Amino acid sequence: MALHHLDPDAFINTLGPHEPTLHVQPGDTIVFHTLDAFGYDRAQVQRGETPNPQSGPVWVNGAEPGDALEVDIVRLTPSRDRGWTRYPLATNVVDPDTVITFPQRASADWAVDVATWTTRLVDPPMALQNLVLPLDPMIGCFGVAPLGGEAISTSTPGPHGGNMDWRGFRAGTKVWFPVGQPGALLAAGDGHARQGDGEISGTGIEISMEMELRVNVRKGWAISWPRGVTSDGKEIFTVGNARPLDQALQHATSEMLTWLMADYGYDLASASHLMGQTVGYDIGNVYNPAYTVVCRMQREIIERG
Amino acid sequence: MALHHLDPDAFINTLGPHEPTLHVQPGDTIVFHTLDAFGYDRAQVQRGETPNPQSGPVWVNGAEPGDALEVDIVRLTPSRDRGWTRYPLATNVVDPDTVITFPQRASADWAVDVATWTTRLVDPPMALQNLVLPLDPMIGCFGVAPLGGEAISTSTPGPHGGNMDWRGFRAGTKVWFPVGQPGALLAAGDGHARQGDGEISGTGIEISMEMELRVNVRKGWAISWPRGVTSDGKEIFTVGNARPLDQALQHATSEMLTWLMADYGYDLASASHLMGQTVGYDIGNVYNPAYTVVCRMQREIIERG
Amino acid sequence: MALHHLDPDAFINTLGPHEPTLHVQPGDTIVFHTLDAFGYDRAQVQRGETPNPQSGPVWVNGAEPGDALEVDIVRLTPSRDRGWTRYPLATNVVDPDTVITFPQRASADWAVDVATWTTRLVDPPMALQNLVLPLDPMIGCFGVAPLGGEAISTSTPGPHGGNMDWRGFRAGTKVWFPVGQPGALLAAGDGHARQGDGEISGTGIEISMEMELRVNVRKGWAISWPRGVTSDGKEIFTVGNARPLDQALQHATSEMLTWLMADYGYDLASASHLMGQTVGYDIGNVYNPAYTVVCRMQREIIERG
Amino acid sequence: MALHHLDPDAFINTLGPHEPTLHVQPGDTIVFHTLDAFGYDRAQVQRGETPNPQSGPVWVNGAEPGDALEVDIVRLTPSRDRGWTRYPLATNVVDPDTVITFPQRASADWAVDVATWTTRLVDPPMALQNLVLPLDPMIGCFGVAPLGGEAISTSTPGPHGGNMDWRGFRAGTKVWFPVGQPGALLAAGDGHARQGDGEISGTGIEISMEMELRVNVRKGWAISWPRGVTSDGKEIFTVGNARPLDQALQHATSEMLTWLMADYGYDLASASHLMGQTVGYDIGNVYNPAYTVVCRMQREIIERG
């Protein structure tokens, strides 16, 4: 149950079978010191490259393909007082004809105050002089090495996790990743001080962060997509990553159906009734090469049988 | 401010330039007595045809193309004690290879108890013997006649509304539709006693209903997609209907951007900052020929300027 | 076997259950005098409205839902010496980020010379001074009234045909449409002097036309999507219309599979072998609300058994 | 101008920064001895793993990111007399409801006769007793190491090429790949004795092959997607790989537009006119995680200026 600090000198831009920078035991906790999406650290020094440089990978003893790596998000703390966003909205989230009217994209800085747990634009346009938003720190990109020896860009989510940009990856959330390589090879980065659904401006409030994650290995739990429990403990969820969103939704829905049938013991009809009348969906990343849909079910309903 | 009851003998399966069955004034309230999705009424007599037979259309005096029809959902009451669903999940919401294992779809009945505001399966499989779910009545399909003389099937949503199957269309919600024909020609039907996101079993709990709707005309408000205010009054929303979901999201996002800029006075950069860091999305219908995405923004944030 | 001329004063912008402007017998031939996509006739007088005003509908005696309307494209002749196109490329056929660099769209005129069967820009940019292209006249939009009482915009293709913008709809091609209303209610318009695949500039060379079509009724042939025989007589084809292209392809492929099994007598395995190793696809319309994919099979292969 | 034989003992299932198995000079020719998609060699011995094991990678001296690797497909010869296919059609190329009726997929063997240049089923169903098809050998999967250190599964195409399954990759075709890593790291495999468009049964006629490829380096030609010249020398083409097909088409179209403007010197309006009225599209792979669209332009038209 050791506590490790991973404050690396080198960073990775793909999730894949890289040489681990740290070896840990199941039950250990790691504080990942992470760069922002463009590679700037807590001192605003650029130490990594875009996109979304990751700290890691971390070898978790005993994790093998066919297992699931369990990750508890214990704490997410912005490690500097400045974040940044891009604007206007991404060209792929509005109607194509609207894009003709768009200027080239630019950046804006946000003051991030951990003491008051708020953020505001540093140099706001007139209309946003009084805008103060609460922090809601989340992990933009984390995951394990994929199956089959792939090394996937940290701009792209997949079965292994990656750049999912879902607001639900906040402190208190538990997530399982399908282990694709021995040691699982967990990496994390791309912290957001907060974000709307979909990361539709192409960024959250991008910032360096301390991400405190506790890892465990669930042996012989051969999942196909990330699964988890929401931060309030009230819902289980599955994640599908693909394009179009329709396919991401199919992946997340199929994974939930499998989970309810294989682990909770529901037959197809019962699982269909439960999902049909109570399921919830969230939209994660709709900015990057693959998109993210999260499928949620209430534990109170599915666990009472 | 009259109260009308619309309890028709004939029903429509397209939203279009049909002869109105009722003429009302702005400010009037209409109780639409609606059939279920297969055309069965409160006495379980089939009086309409699938898909989603609608009560109406209602002519609203003074509504012209270029205006928005305002509809307040005052009350939604199931009008019988039996609903039904289909199972297993729809073939288009799971991975294609999963479908090979699916049987042909079948129907199940649900007891709907307005007194206790709950529902349960009439003949539950073993695993769901104890399942009792709260009611959360919603409108599956409602809308106006489209622009350009189109008559669109009540299975398909579009700019005019239609079969959006969003859980948010519950009592207390306000919605505006873009008027496409003189009199707007509002129709409603396809009530659900409750439903999960997406209508992924192809049905909510389908039931006949009393839908009490109050109408008004917002002159000269030329919207492109449905807009509204959520039932808790805390959010405004826009609706996009298209396939794939990506395009529905583009429509909803563009409509929200237009709304923030044209009505709330935000410049593009400010609107992008607000949307990028605070927007929420819901997934409506993912069963039918077009899909539905709802884009939400918190009024507390956008109205404080 | 009469020859009719349909040179109407009024035009329709939806395909639906409209009052017929002409009644014909199976075996008759109709010369549809058609407007261009913006409603301009052979004398450059605007007599109809955008989008794609249609001549018709024509009632074909004996056609009933459950039948197929057979249409032979006998002759397509541009009826004036000027066509027009739009430029640059449509915003939805290029990468979203490319659109930022695009100007607003503009129009260009083309000289259309039926004597030499060629076309050239009237006021060409320097780089295209010597560009002369052969004519290849085609029908942009034609079809029948849809099933279920729908009236669908002539900008949108569907099971009933409509705005498919496939180059293969040239003289010599035979097509069958699924009859959705008594009399079939055939309409035609939106002629193109020529066009690339996909109508990716949003137009072909738009022009008024004489479209000579011979109609027949194939009783009791309940098809779901347009089917046909190519102008060289060598291939049969099916058409799927939907978004995204993936779904249009699914529709066209399923319809071909059904055709091979129900009419040619192939079992599923044999039909799959034939399609898998010899099928061809064309991309039709990728500009409008629904897209078009054509699935082709060689008659020489499938008819020799 | 050396001729190399690459008949390896080990194979790769990702295209990425792997250790090269052969070093060659620009202008050299390599005969890649390739396994079939399941890893069986010319003697029907399994020597590699699914999916699509590749021979290579080959280091081409002087190739650097920012260059294009030119590959001429000199010769494609099946190296055994048996190929195989799968059936029925893939579940993702037909309407979802059709899939309910499908059995689990099975395999069939094909006799491949290089002397007569034909193929036939070894154990044909009754309906296909007389089916004899001409060979049309093609490369299912080939490409270079991607940019950014990615290693992409040989089931998935991308900017680097990969599993594109386009019939046009036959002998005589020239293709350029964007170099993503020093030495380019070319690999090839997954030969098909023939195939229909789209690889819609999930396979071509899968077979081991000799693929004779000549390589060159086009220095400083920074392309974003594969480009090439068709085997008849009459067309140039670009390839887009993504899902849905709509996005693959956007990539291919944008790449062609860039090519016409940057290399052929057309302005945006002229390039749009040419593409709009003369472009052709082919559908490649529609079976795998990403799909393929090919955009073609006639050299006779674009080169006469």
Q: B265 by DSSP, 3-state: which?
A: coil
Residue C301 phi, psi dihedral angles, 5° rounding: -80, -50
Q: What's the average model confidence in pLDDT over A72-94?
A: 98
% of chain B beyond a pLDDT of 70: 100
Task: Report CA-CA distances (Å) from D23 to B282, D62, D68.
Answer: 54, 11, 17
pLDDT of residue A288: 87
* A99 in contact with chain C, both atoms CB, cutoff 8 A: yes
CB spacing of C127 vs D266 below 8 angstroms? yes
Separation between Cα atoms, residue D140 and residue D291, nearest integer Å = 13
Grade residue D43 by pLDDT with cuts at 50, 70 and 90.
Answer: very high
The residues in B 15-44 lying below 8 A from C, measured between CB atoms, are: 16
Separation between Cα atoms, residue C240 and residue C284, nearest integer Å = 10
CB contact at 8 A, D139 and D169:
yes
Task: Report CA-CA distances (Å) from C218 to A88, B59, C65, D246.
Answer: 55, 41, 11, 35
Q: Which residue type sits at D269?
A: A
Dihedral angle at the C-alpha atoms of D189, D195, D196, D199, nearest 10 degrees? -40
Residue B127 token pair: 């695993």
Chain centre distance of CA A139: 5
Residue of C nearest to A94 (CA): C96
Separation between Cα atoms, residue B216 and residue A208, nearest integer Å = 50
Question: pLDDT tens digits for B129-168?
Answer: 999 999 999 999 999 999 999 999 999 999 999 999 999 9
The answer, yes or no, to whether the previous bond of C57 is cis (omega within 30 of 0) is yes
pLDDT of residue B304: 79
Q: What's the average model confidence in pLDDT over D197-218?
A: 98
CB contact at 8 A, A130 and B305:
yes
Q: What's the average model confidence in pLDDT over A142-159?
A: 98
pLDDT of residue A305: 57
Interface probe for D, chosen from B91, B287, B291 (most Cβ of D below 10 Å), is B91
C-alpha angle with apex C48: C42 to C54, nearest 5 degrees?
Answer: 85
Handedness of CA A165, A255, A228, A234 (dihedral sign): positive
C270-274: long-range contacts, CB 8 A cutoff, minimum separation 24: C270/D125, C270/D127, C270/D128, C271/D88, C272/D87, C272/D88, C272/D89, C272/D201, C273/D85, C273/D87, C273/D108, C273/D121, C273/D125, C273/D128, C273/D131, C273/D201, C274/C301, C274/C302, C274/D128, C274/D131
pLDDT of residue A184: 98
pLDDT of residue C1: 84
Q: D198 by DSSP, 3-state: which?
A: helix
Question: pLDDT tens digits for B273-298?
Answer: 999 999 999 999 999 899 999 999 99
Question: What's the helix, strand, coil split of chain C in %, to 5?
Answer: 15, 40, 45
Grade residue A53 by pLDDT with cuts at 50, 70 and 90.
Answer: very high
Question: pLDDT tens digits for B88-116?
Answer: 999 999 999 999 999 999 999 999 999 99
State chain D's mean pLDDT as an integer: 97
CB contact at 8 A, C183 and C63:
yes
Question: pLDDT tens digits for D63-103?
Answer: 999 999 999 999 999 999 999 999 999 999 999 999 999 99
Q: Decide the pairing of beta strands C54-60 and C22-24.
A: parallel
Residues of B within 8 A of A276 (CB-CB) are: 85, 87, 89, 195-196, 199-203
The answer, yes or no, to whether the previous bond of B51 is cis (omega within 30 of 0) is yes
DSSP code for C230: -
What ipTM was estimated for this complex? 0.97
The answer, yes or no, to whether the previous bond of C53 is cis (omega within 30 of 0) is no
Residue of C nearest to A247 (CA): C246
Chains touching chain D through at least 3 C-beta pairs below 8 angstroms are A, B, C
Handedness of CA C93, C97, C102, C105 (dihedral sign): positive
Separation between Cα atoms, residue D252 and residue D248, nearest integer Å = 6
Q: What's the average model confidence in pLDDT over A130-151?
A: 98
* A122 in contact with chain B, both atoms CB, cutoff 8 A: no
pLDDT > 70? residue D116? yes
CB spacing of C273 vs D121 below 8 angstroms? yes
Secondary structure (DSSP) of C21-56? SEEE-TT-EEEEEE--TTSB-TTS-B-S-SS--EEE
Q: How many CB atoms are closer than 10 A to CB B18?
A: 18
Q: D80 by DSSP, 3-state: which?
A: coil
pLDDT > 70? residue A197? yes
pLDDT of residue A207: 98
* A280 in contact with chain C, both atoms CB, cutoff 8 A: no
Residue B199 token pair: 């209508």
Secondary structure (DSSP) of A26-58? TT-EEEEEE--TTSB-TTS-B-S-SS--EEEEE
pLDDT > 90? residue D1? no
Residue D152 token pair: 């992409």
Residues of B within 8 A of A245 (CB-CB) are: 244-246, 249
pLDDT > 90? residue A304? no
Handedness of CA B176, B179, B180, B186 (dihedral sign): positive
Residue B23 token pair: 């003429």
Residues of A within 8 A of D14 (CB-CB) are: 148-151
Q: Which of D83, D78, D140, D138 is nearest to D114 (CA)?
A: D78
Question: pLDDT tens digits for C233-242?
Answer: 999 999 999 9
Q: What's the average model confidence in pLDDT over A21-49?
A: 98
Q: How many CB atoms are closer than 10 A to CB D91?
A: 20
C-alpha angle with apex C174: C168 to C179, nearest 5 degrees?
Answer: 110
CB contact at 8 A, B4 and B22:
yes
Q: D301 by DSSP, 3-state: which?
A: helix
Q: Which residues contact B226 (CB under 8 A, 6 or more apart)?
A: B143, B159, B161, B164, B175, B176, B177, B178, B238, B239
The residues in A 162-191 lying below 8 A from D, measured between CB atoms, are: none
* A265 in contact with chain C, both atoms CB, cutoff 8 A: no
Handedness of CA D42, D48, D54, D56 (dihedral sign): negative
- Mean pLDDT, 10 residues at a time, chain C of 305 residues: 95 98 98 98 97 98 98 98 98 97 96 98 97 98 98 98 98 98 98 98 98 98 98 98 98 98 98 98 95 98 84
State chain B's mean pLDDT as an integer: 97
CB spacing of D125 vs C197 below 8 angstroms? no
Q: Which residues contact D56 (CB under 8 A, 6 or more apart)?
A: D6, D8, D12, D20, D21, D22, D32, D185, D186, D187, D188
What number of C-beta contacts closer than 8 Å exist between A and B? Answer: 205
The b/e string for A61-96 (b: 16+ C-beta within 10 A; e otherwise) is eebeeebbbbbbbeebebbbebbbbbbbbbbbbbbb
Separation between Cα atoms, residue D74 and residue B189, nearest integer Å = 64
pLDDT of residue A100: 95
pTM above 0.90, yes or no: yes
Q: Which of B49, B31, B252 is nearest to B157 (CA)?
A: B252
Handedness of CA B240, B241, B246, B251 (dihedral sign): negative
Separation between Cα atoms, residue A236 and residue A243, nearest integer Å = 23
Question: pLDDT tens digits for B127-136?
Answer: 999 999 999 9
Interface probe for B, chosen from C150, C251, C268 (most Cβ of B below 10 Å), is C150
Q: Decide the pairing of beta strands C29-34 and C3-6.
A: parallel
pLDDT of residue D288: 87
Residues of A within 8 A of B125 (CB-CB) are: 267, 269-270, 273
The answer, yes or no, to whether the previous bond of A178 is cis (omega within 30 of 0) is no
- Detail the DSSP E strand segments found in chain B: 3-6, 14-15, 22-24, 29-34, 54-60, 68-78, 82-87, 106-113, 118-121, 133-134, 138-143, 152-153, 161-162, 174-178, 184-192, 209-218, 227-229, 235-242, 280-283, 291-298
Grade residue A1 by pLDDT with cuts at 50, 70 and 90.
Answer: confident
State chain A's mean pLDDT as an integer: 97
pLDDT of residue D304: 79
* B242 in contact with chain C, both atoms CB, cutoff 8 A: yes
CB contact at 8 A, D185 and D58:
yes
Which H or E run contains B164?
Answer: none
Residues of B within 8 A of C247 (CB-CB) are: 243
